[in-house]
Amino acid sequence: MTLKTADFLVEIGTEELPPKALKSLSDAFMKGVKQGLEEAALSFDEVMAYASPRRLAVMVKALQTKQADKMVERKGPAKKASFDADGNPSKALLGFARGCGADVSELSEIETDKGIWMVYHLEQKGQFTRELLPNIVNQALSQLPIPKRMRWGDLDVEFVRPVHWALMLFDEAVVPATVLGHETSNATHGHRFHAPQAIKITRPGDYLTLLREQGYVQADFAERKASIFKQVTDAAQAVGGVAEIDEDLLDEVTALNEWPTAVVGAFDESFLAVPSEALISAMKGHQKYFHVLDANGRLMAKFITICNIESVNPESVKKGNERVIRPRLSDATFFWNQDRKRPLDDFLPRLKTVVFQQKLGTLFDKTERLETLAVKIGRPLGEPAQILERAARLSKCDLMTEMVGEFPELQGIMGRYYAQAQQEDTRVVRAIDDQYQPRFAGDGLPDSAVSQALAIADKLDTITGIYGIGQLPTGDKDPFALRRSALGLLRIIIEKELDLDLQLMIRFSLDLHANISTTDALVGGIYEFIISRLKAYYAAKGVSSEQFEAVRVCEPTHPLDFAKRIDAVCQFSKMEAAESLSAANKRIANILKKVTVTVTLPEVVESNLFEEDAERDLFEALDALRESVSMKIAARDYSGAMQLLATIRQPVDAFFDGVMVMAEDEAVKQNRLALLNQIYQLFRQVADISRLS
């Protein structure tokens, strides 16, 4: 029988919703409705989310109008407890039948692995979908990710913003319900200024069209975002430039406007004497403007703003925005000029007034640690101590400048400009900015050795300090961004091929913290925390969990060495011999795990104890490879070592086919175990391939 279906629409009208949370609220609302429908066993074709500053809506296409009827089985007492010796029903059975509203004769038997039980089967009629929808919607709304709900008026209702209307349509009929204190209807409202009156929605399918044509509202977030992107791009081209569109800003602007209209404004070219990053921060952060670059990538004295109205006098809108941005740019100019009146060094003492972390001291204390740590890391990279110390000494000074005080996102960037203005060494200038790289996933890495040393030192100091006082990240809470710092540190070392010992660096960094006692356990814990960040890093590159663990258990202390081993294991896994040798090593590991609990194996294999040709052949094959493999490993040519080791596949297979390891003669058995242990340990100098599947 063909199921009857109809379209469903729910819309919640509110005061302006938080722009940075709009998309997540919309997605969560859609997910909640979808989950509710699925739990109610209602089929549908498609679920779509719509969101604008004043509304959250969900549309469901071809939703089943009624739940299917279904047979329900109720389990009663066991058969042996259901009847007495004369076959009469027991009180337990009579009570069960009465609870089901049935006669004992209507009960059935079911056989299980625990015996025969009495059951009752009844047909449960499905509910009409319109009866289920109010609870599904209210449940979805109650589960939205709203950190702090608000109340308004004298209502007990709580939501992220005051609610003004609730629309709920199933086919052409209103679904009667109370949602967030409002009785549902088929009425929505358009743009606050262009079309504030009520708009009747007769069918869910008309929702987007009627809002667009009568209400001056583009309710589809993705459609509105695409429209803004095109308008900004076209507007920039019209003035001979290219718009640089930040994705986060685009999302925020999309969440701020229901009827977006692009307007191009201009500012005085004299402001271009200020570093472009400062002007862009003023435009983006304060005004949500898009900036424009010329053909050479330089900032133009233009901006593009998105208005939430279709003005009859766009020139007035343009002038209004130009008036607003001027004092913002004037502030940036003032900060730029004021900050340059004194050298960066003068800002250093002020760092004593800013606490980095209560137990770890001030930013000044952190700076002093960085001076020592940067030298320790940078000297092996070939950089002079005085340059490394200078870069570290100035690294945090810009945090106390007027400009960074107003625009915190410019930390490092303004330090670079100020250091350049006072003619610092170019390596120092670059390092002040580069220390924060990578700032986000996929960001670039520092290129110069001084920058790399300072970036590693900065991240390592934070990780060892915060971890050392026991404030590890929990769940999604990581206030000091330790996970990001750990991955950034590892990326620099691995991708820039720096031969640095991570455990030694951790220990040295811990010793610089006055309130932390360095222990082997603490060093090991921090090492594990940092290295564990590599699992996701390598997973994104197609490295399996087994391949990663095969290297991790060997605990290489140099991340670059770790990376080379990973490459070797990945190449080995593609070899024909990989499966057989991995299985053999797994077998060897299991044997050794059992015997080494009570026995210490001999270090030397005695050839005079061989009884089978297979064990002699394996010993000779291993002996012939040993020196070459050791040389490869010493040179960190792990791929070459694994290629050599792969050649012993045949003698290993022959050994296990023809030799009984656990021989009756104890000396022979110990000798064979020692031979297997040598194979296992030789492979383990690269990786524990027994972990490969």
Q: Which amino acid is at 573?
A: S
**Pick from 351, 357, 431: nearest CA to 390:** 431
Domain-located, residue 539:
no
Residues 358 and 474 in one domain: yes
- Do 141 and 180 meet the contact criterion of CB atoms below 8 Å apart? yes
Largest CA distance in the chain: 107
Residues 59 and 164 in one domain: yes
Residue where a domain terminates, one of 339, 361, 391: 339
Whether 2 shows a pLDDT value over 70: the answer reads no
Residues 397 and 495 in one domain: yes
Domain-located, residue 618:
yes
User: What single string gives the DSSP state of each residue in 122-164?
Assistant: EEEPPPBHHHHHHHHHHHHHHTS--SS-B--TT----BSS-EE
Q: What's the pLDDT at 656? A: 86
Domain-located, residue 545:
no
**Pick from 350, 345, 322: nearest CA to 394:** 345
Domain-located, residue 154:
yes
**How does DSSP classify residue 511?**
H
Alpha-carbon distance of 361 to 365, in angstroms, equals: 6
For the record, the structure tokens of 634 come out as 């010493």
Map residue 7 onto helix, strand or coil: strand
Alpha-carbon distance of 98 to 353, in angstroms, equals: 78
Residues 110 and 18 in one domain: no
> What are the distances in angstroms from CA 456 to CA 33, 431, 500, 568?
46, 11, 11, 26
Residues 160 and 48 in one domain: yes
For the record, the structure tokens of 98 come out as 């009465």
Predicted confidence (pLDDT) per residue in 323-342, tens digit: 999 999 999 999 999 999 99
Residues 14 and 78 in one domain: no
Instruction: Work out the pLDDT band at 33, boundaries 50, 70, 90.
Output: very high
Mean pLDDT confidence for 234-243: 97
Instruction: Work out the pLDDT band at 455, boundaries 50, 70, 90.
Output: very high
Mean pLDDT confidence for 460-472: 95
Residues contacting residue 588 through CB under 8 Å, at least 6 positions apart = 676, 677, 679, 680, 690
Residue where a domain terminates, one of 282, 312, 339: 339
Higher-confidence position of 631 and 147: 631
Q: How far apart are the first and last CA of the chain?
A: 49
User: What single string gives the DSSP state of each residue in 195-229?
Assistant: --SEEE-SSGGGHHHHHHHHH-----HHHHHHHHH
Instruction: Work out the pLDDT band at 112, boundaries 50, 70, 90.
Output: confident
Rg of the chain taking only CA atoms, in angstroms: 35
Q: What's the pLDDT at 3? A: 75
Q: What is the mean pLDDT of the chain?
A: 93
Instruction: Work out the pLDDT band at 597, boundaries 50, 70, 90.
Output: low
Total number of domains constituting the chain: 5
User: What single string gives the DSSP state of each residue in 352-411?
Assistant: GGSEEETTTEEHHHHHHHHHHHHHHHHGGGT--HHHHHHHHHHTTGGGGSHHHHH-GGGT
- Do 435 and 395 meet the contact criterion of CB atoms below 8 Å apart? yes
> What are the distances in angstroms from CA 295 to CA 3, 271, 299, 301, 325?
59, 19, 10, 13, 24
- Do 120 and 108 meet the contact criterion of CB atoms below 8 Å apart? yes
- Do 380 and 456 meet the contact criterion of CB atoms below 8 Å apart? no
Alpha-carbon distance of 491 to 497, in angstroms, equals: 9
Domain-located, residue 550:
no
Residue where a domain terminates, one of 317, 339, 361: 339
**Pick from 180, 182, 170: nearest CA to 133:** 170
Alpha-carbon distance of 376 to 521, in angstroms, equals: 22
**Pick from 384, 366, 363: nearest CA to 448:** 384
Q: What's the pLDDT at 426? A: 97
Strand order in the sheet with 299-307: 242-243, 290-293, 299-307, 261-266
Residues 251 and 365 in one domain: no
Residues forming a β-bridge with 628: none
Look up the CATH number of the domain holding residue 444.
Answer: 1.10.3210
Residues 303 and 379 in one domain: no
Predicted confidence (pLDDT) per residue in 342-401, tens digit: 999 999 999 999 999 999 999 999 999 999 999 999 999 999 999 999 999 999 999 999
User: Domain residues for 516?
Assistant: 344-532
Q: What percent of the chain has pLDDT over 90?
A: 76
Domain-located, residue 549:
no
Alpha-carbon distance of 377 to 112, in angstroms, equals: 69
Domain-located, residue 553:
no
Residues 489 and 436 in one domain: yes
Count Cα neighbours of 592 within 13 Å in the Cβ-side half-sphere: 21
> What are the distances in angstroms from CA 438 to CA 256, 413, 460?
30, 14, 14
Q: What percent of the chain has pLDDT over 70?
A: 99
Would the CA dihedral through 223, 224, 228, 234 be positive or negative?
positive
Domain-located, residue 653:
yes
> What are the distances in angstroms from CA 648 to CA 272, 625, 645?
69, 9, 6
> What are the distances in angstroms from CA 109 to CA 80, 100, 682?
11, 15, 64
Whether 1 shows a pLDDT value over 60: the answer reads no
Q: Is 648 exposed, middle or buried (0-12, 13-18, 19+ CB in 10 A)?
A: buried
Residues contacting residue 196 through CB under 8 Å, at least 6 positions apart = 189, 190
Would the CA dihedral through 143, 144, 146, 150 be positive or negative?
negative
Residues 85 and 231 in one domain: no
Alpha-carbon distance of 570 to 565, in angstroms, equals: 9
Q: Is 692 exposed, middle or buried (0-12, 13-18, 19+ CB in 10 A)?
A: buried
Residues 398 and 284 in one domain: no
Asked if the bond preceding 438 is cis, omega within 30° of 0, the reply is yes
Residues 517 and 375 in one domain: yes
Alpha-carbon distance of 478 to 495, in angstroms, equals: 25
Q: What's the pLDDT at 590? A: 86
